[in-house]
Amino acid sequence: MDREWEIFLKNTSKTNTFLYNAISSFKMEKSDENLVVVKYSSEFAKSEFDRVSPEFFNHFRHKVNNFKFEIDYQTDLTIKKEVMTKRKIFEKFVEINPLLKDLDDLMRFDLS
């Protein structure tokens, strides 16, 4: 299952980067012979996945020749990816070295 999911993500990254960014953090687990657990980070990401899930699961059902498995969706906030902007990276460095804040006030860095 992991291999097919990686192939699906790879193909999606080439064709639809918006969808790829939404679903790339999903975790697929086979918890039983006939149960697949899909862990997602947000309702928005799940709604995006709902549009393409029939395509993925139909392909997977044919690949493993198992048409009886069910899909269970679970929210998992620990897999959420945070987008690191230049400003957030700089603020993390300011926590380590507060003198950077003074330098930013003096030089007025463009961190947008």
Cβ pair 36, 29 in contact under 8 A: yes
pLDDT level of residue 17 (50, 70, 90 thresholds): confident
Torsion angle, alpha carbons of 36, 41, 47, 49, to 10: -50
Stated pTM of the model: 0.63
Q: Which of left, alpha, beta for 65 (phi over 0: left; psi -120 to 50: alpha)?
A: left
User: What amino acid is encoded at 34 in this protein?
Assistant: N
pLDDT in tens, 42-86: 888 889 899 999 999 998 888 888 888 899 998 876 666 666 788
